[in-house]
């Protein structure tokens, strides 16, 4: 890791913490990040020549693996015609149609450049549509870094959020109410307190940002009912789950439909993207049709659109990818549970399709509080033990592992073998 170390030291002099997104700095597990030279399929190749089996997959953005030939081909073709026009291109329509096909709750969709922009715009829109200011978000769910979403639960009882970052004025977060994931009671008590003030409930239908935490039976349905009852909108942040747990995301998997859906990650085929969409009457409030302002110089970028279209078309023509990923995921999950049981190590594996987290705790993990019970120092040892064996899992307990269609049964076997040894070391 000599060259990586040298590059990281150089990066520290010009970039805060040496990285352009905090989790990459390995703070949660200790040590220093490696630098990547190139990637292919399920593998990353570091600048020091190490080959790593990658379970991060650009934080879930890649479902076909790295450098998929078909996607690369489309990108190169688009690149040859220029990088950005600032005018409409046909692939924007193609991508919008693919999104609509996957998500029947989306009649109109607007493309932006990141997930952060998508959720920020969705909330602005929900506030305009309902003429209300307050929103509910769940403790442990992440929706990008917009001010009003960087909120965690205040001390004591859940209700009013407090800024979870310096630089966010309290005045901005006072309209963000915090509830507990999988706890409908915590949501209904907020609605009872503010029956006419809540514009929207925003949720990751399967949470991936406190580690993977699936919704309990009835949770999403309950959110659908309560928002309808109080004239509030339901926003699903499907930036991870969209096109990952099924083509139509959590909405297809659980049969619960949102008023506004946020997408990103896989949608851009590995290039920067976000999107938000919903019913026509809601989306028609967005400018230039309506008075909710939202714009983007590089939005709908032709190269990004080409990457998105080729990714989604490839998935659409190979829908067996989802059962393949389910089988691999199941093999990994059961393998880890068996090994842990055998070694007497307390773990909980939470998994939905190709997203999974190994929590080092005996207790069921169903919300932020229970996720926090995981032993993060054991996770850190586990992480480094696997990394030494050429397996790269997320450098934080509270992130999801992601499988891609480029992963093979053999990859999983190799991983389980490495995990067996790692369990001896932790
Ligand atoms: C990644 C993510 C975001 C933010 O997307 P960016 O493109 O990083 O801004 C928002 N919500 C969820 C659920 C995410 O996983």
Extents of the domains making up the chain:
2-67+320-425, 69-316
Nearest to 34, CA basis, from 43, 42, 25, 22: 25
Nearest CA to ligand 1 atom 6: 115
Using CB distances shorter than 6 Å, the residues near ligand 1 are 114-116, 119, 142-144, 204, 208-209, 237, 239-240, 264, 274
Q: Whose CA is nearest to atom 15 of ligand 1?
A: 240
Question: Residue 186 — very low, low, confident or very high, per pLDDT cuts 50/70/90?
Answer: very high
Mean per-residue pLDDT for 313-333? 98
Q: Which pLDDT score, from 0 to 100, does residue 189 have?
A: 97
227: CB partners within 8 A, 6+ apart: 200, 201, 233, 234, 259
Burial class (CB in 10 A: 0-12, 13-18, 19+), 424: exposed
Give the pLDDT mean for 62-78: 98
CATH topology of domain 69-316: 3.40.640
- Does pLDDT of 154 surpass 80? no
The residue whose CB lies within 8 Å of the most ligand 1 atoms, and thus the one to mutate among 19, 121, 144, is 144
From 24, 239, 298, give the residue whose CB has the most ligand 1 atoms within 8 Å, as the site to mutate.
239
User: Which atom of ligand 1 is nearest the CA belonging to 204?
Assistant: 13
Q: What is the mean pLDDT of the chain?
A: 96
**Same fold for the pair 2-67+320-425 and 69-316:** no
The set of catalytic residues is 142, 237, 265
Q: What is the pTM of this model?
A: 0.97
pLDDT of 399 strictly over 70: yes
Lowest mean pLDDT among 35-39, 165-169, 281-285: 165-169
Q: What gap in Å lies between CA 247 and CA 252, rounded to an integer?
A: 8
Q: Which two tokens stand for residue 251?
A: 């909405």
Is the pLDDT assigned to residue 65 strictly greater than 90?
yes
155 confidence band (pLDDT: 50, 70, 90): low
The average pLDDT across 91-105 equals 98
Residue 159's pLDDT is 61
With cut-offs at 50, 70 and 90, classify the pLDDT of residue 374. very high
Q: Looking at domain 2-67+320-425, does it have CATH number 3.90.1150.10?
A: yes
Q: Token pair 């329509």 is at which residue?
A: 93
H or E segment at 320?
A: helix 320-343
Q: What is the DSSP string of 125-159?
A: HHHHHHT--EEEEETT----S-GGG-EEEPSSSSS
Choice between 154 and 21, residue whose per-residue pLDDT is larger: 21
């Amino acid at each position: 890791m000599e060259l990586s170390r040298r590059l990281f030291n150089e990066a520290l002099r010009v970039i805060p913490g040496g990285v352009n997104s905090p989790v990459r700095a390995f703070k949660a597990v200790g040590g220093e990040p490696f630098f990547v030279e190139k990637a292919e399929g399920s593998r990353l190749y570091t600048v020091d020549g190490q080959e790593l089996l990658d379970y991060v997959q650009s934080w879930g953005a890649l479902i076909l693996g790295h450098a998929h030939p078909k996607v690369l081909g489309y990108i190169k073709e688009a690149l040859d015609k220029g990088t950005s026009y600032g005018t409409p291109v046909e692939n924007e329509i193609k991508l919008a149609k693919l999104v609509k096909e996957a998500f029947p709750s989306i009649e109109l969709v607007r493309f932006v450049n990141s997930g952060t922009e998508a959720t920020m715009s969705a909330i602005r829109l929900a506030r305009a549509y309902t003429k209300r200011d307050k929103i509910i978000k769940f403790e442990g769910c992440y929706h990008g870094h917009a001010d009003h979403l960087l909120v965690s639960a205040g001390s004591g009882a859940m209700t009013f959020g407090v800024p979870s970052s310096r630089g966010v004025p309290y005045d901005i977060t006072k309209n963000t109410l915090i509830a507990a994931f999988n706890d409908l009671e915590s949501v209904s008590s907020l609605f009872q307190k503010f029956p006419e003030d809540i514009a929207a409930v925003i949720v990751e239908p399967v949470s991936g940002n406190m580690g993977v935490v699936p919704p309990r039976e009835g949770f999403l349905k309950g959110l659908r009912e309560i928002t309808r009852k109080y004239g509030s909108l339901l926003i699903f942040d499907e930036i991870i789950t969209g096109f990952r747990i099924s083509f139509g995301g959590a909405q297809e998997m659980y049969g619960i439909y949102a008023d506004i859906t946020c997408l990103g990650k896989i949608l851009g085929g590995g290039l920067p993207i976000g999107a938000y969409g919903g019913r026509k009457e809601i989306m028609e409030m967005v400018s230039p049709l309506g008075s909710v302002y939202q714009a983007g110089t590089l939005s709908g970028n032709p190269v990004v659109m080409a990457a998105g279209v080729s990714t989604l078309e490839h998935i659409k023509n190979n829908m067996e990818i989802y059962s393949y990923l389910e089988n691999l995921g199941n093999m990994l999950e059961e393998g880890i549970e068996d090994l842990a049981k055998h070694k007497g190590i307390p773990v909980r594996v939470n998994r939905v399709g190709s997203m999974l987290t190994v929590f080092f705790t005996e207790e069921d993990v169903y919300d932020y509080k229970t996720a926090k019970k995981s032993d993060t120092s054991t996770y850190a040892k586990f992480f480094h033990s696997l990394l030494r064996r050429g397996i790269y899992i997320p450098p934080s307990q509270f992130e999801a592992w992601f499988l891609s269609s480029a992963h093979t049964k053999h990859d999983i076997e190799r991983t389980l073998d490495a995990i067996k040894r790692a369990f001896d070391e932790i």
